[in-house]
Every structure is written in structure tokens, then in C-alpha cells.
Chain A
Amino acid sequence: MRNRSSTTANKLRFMKDQEFEDEAALLSAEYGNKHGLVTAPPIPVDEMVELYLGLSLEFHDMQKLFGVDDVHGALWVNEKRVGIDRRLDPSSNPAMLGRYHFTLAHEAGHWRLHRQLFQRRANQHALFAENVPRPEYICRSSDTEPIEYQANRFASCLLMPREMVKRSWHEWREGMEPIYLADLRAKGGNDGSDESIMEDAIRPFAAKFRVSPTAMRIRTESMKLLFRRREASLFA
């Protein structure tokens, strides 16, 4: 494995938007070379994590393990293990499928971008009380650290690759016309927050990628396919 510029220093490096796209595309391409190219959604993130990255996937009761109730995932870098909270198991909670995928992709992000920050020599151990190995990354929904933000950006790019989103959008909308919040409001049917209206509209599109409407709203807003306001045009 080559050293990545983002992880050679022992501290977190600032990454530009395009770098997240590139890092995610690189993982997809590497996976594709070995297991077959991914040309349409959904992205096989389970297979990427387990079969390509070689991480052991485990379901845990995170609340029991860590004593707090908002831990979705954890990564044991030195043991090459990924833990996902069992509440996100989509077979028992189908509504959690998007969240499950995102958490797994998020941990893949830590593995690809940050693992060298935490890799220890084999004789160094970090243990919780009762000899439970301490994960290097405990990912909580309340966490806003830059390292968590970076893993989220990676996950978003991995599960919703830019070009694939554009192609699928074109197919779904029969064109590249963006969706405007004002038009959605005019249609009525949802008097909720801006976010909930946009997420309702985007729900079928999110389902194609097996991600949550929230994740897809954020992605399509950043790709300028979904707008809160009509952009002022010079030629209007």
C-alpha cells in the first residue's frame, strides 16, 4: 500500500472537495479491477469492505459496548475489524438500510484516509476495562470532529459517485433540470421544514442508491441538482 499524502503526517490534513471524489473513485476502481466494475447503483459497499478491504464486519450492541446511545460504527484499525450497531441491521430494521450503508462507507473512509494515524506496533495495545480492545474510531452521530466530517464526505462520494448520480438523475428526471424547493412548496402536500420537503421529493432517487433521503439531499444539493433558492441568472 502506497503512502497517501493525506496520512503520512501524524495529523489530519485538510482535504479539498475533489480529493474526496478521487479517493472514493480510487477505491471503486480498485474494487472493480478485482470483482467487476460497478457501473450502476447501488454501490456494493458490503463487498468493498469485506472482500476487497479485508475488514471483518461485525454487528455489536454499541450502546452496551460503549455506554452511550448514538454510536453507529467503530473501527479497530489494528485488528482490521468494523463494528456496526445492531440497530442498523437492515434485515431487522429495513428503514435503516441507508444509514447502515452510510455507516459502513464512513468506516471505509476512516480506513482509507486515516488508518495510518492510528496504526500501532503489534506489541502496543489499547484496552478498555475488562480487556475489550479499544477501537481507534468510535463514530457517533453527535460527533462533529473534522475527522468524522472527512469520513462522511468520503462515504457520500463512495455511495453516490458524481457521474453515476448525474446519469441516474438524467434517467429519473428525463433531463438534467434541477429541482427547486419553491416548486415543491407550490405543489403542496408537505408543510414541513425545507429539508423534509426536499427529502420527500428525493426519496425515490435515494432508494436507487440505497442511501437515506438525507444523504441524497446533501449530495444533490452540493451537486447543484437540488436548490433551496432559484439561482439568479445573468440572462433572466
Chain B
Amino acid sequence: MAKNKRDKTFGQFLREKRIKKGFSLRKFAELVGVSPTYLSQVEQDNVDPPTADRVKRMAELLGESVDEWTALAGRLTEDLPDIIRESPTAVPDLLRAVRGMTADQLRRLRDDAERMKKEK
């Protein structure tokens, strides 16, 4: 699944999911609050992926993970810059340390983090 996503551009992925959910281009554009011409440009990868709030809206309409889609669009969700700013050394350091770990390892690490927070 992840591999598939990486093989596809944001535009191709968006179009595929939109059709699968049964939204026409014009209907989906209306729901997201953009023009069909713009959405068409996004789907053809002729313009940069939309802003984080639009990507969020798209992911919600399509029942997809907001974080995943935001990353796919090459954007950061609103809360991330603040999280990094709160611990400007430790958080980037942690991110570098976990880079390259498998999804399963990351999940275990996250569970540990939750546990540690509760122990605090």
C-alpha cells in the first residue's frame, strides 16, 4: 500500500480515490471549496499540491488519514511546527533517530511513548 502510494503522484492518487468514492470532479471541487479547473490542475500535477487545510478537507471527504495525506502532499499539519518549536533540539533529534525504522517498530515506540507519558 505504502509502496503504491509512493509510486503515484499526489494528483493521480487523489483522482483515483475521488472516483472510488463516487465524486465527480465538479462535485468534489464544490465540497472542497475550490474551482473544478484548479482541482483538475492538481490532479494533473500541473500545480503544487493544495494547502494543508484543503488537503485535510479532501482526506476527510474521502475517509482517508489526514496525516498521511498531508505528508503525501508534501505539507505539514498545522500542529507540527509548534511541536518542533516547543523542543527545538530534542524533537528533531528524535525524528532523525527514528528515521528508517519500520512501521511496526514506530508503532511500538509510539505505544512506549504513551506508556511513559502516563507514568510521568
The residues of A with any CB-CB pair to B shorter than 8 Å are 35, 44, 46-47, 50-51, 54, 56-59, 86, 89-92
Contacts and interface: CB of A to CB of B under 8 A. Distances in A.
Given A46-B25, A59-B36, A51 B30 contact: no
Contact of A91 (B22, B29, B43): B29
Contact of A51 (B24, B35, B37, B41): B24
B113 interface: no
B27 A59 contact: no
A46 B36 CA distance: 12
B26 interface: yes
A89 B24 contact: no
Interface of B: 15, 19, 22, 24-27, 29-30, 35-37, 40-41, 43-44
B47 to A, nearest CB: 12
A59 B41 contact: yes
Nearest to B30: A91
A92 B35 contact: yes
Contacts of A50: 19, 24-25
Main secondary structure of the interface of A (DSSP, over half): mixed
Contacts of A35: 22
Contact of B26 (A54, A56, A58, A91): A91
A91 B19 CA distance: 20
13 contacts: A46-B26, A47-B22, A47-B24, A47-B27, A50-B19, A50-B25, A56-B43, A58-B40, A58-B44, A59-B40, A59-B41, A91-B29, A92-B35
A50 B43 CA distance: 14
A55 to B, nearest CB: 10
Nearest to B44: A58
A89 B35 contact: yes
A230 B26 CA distance: 42
B37 A86 contact: yes
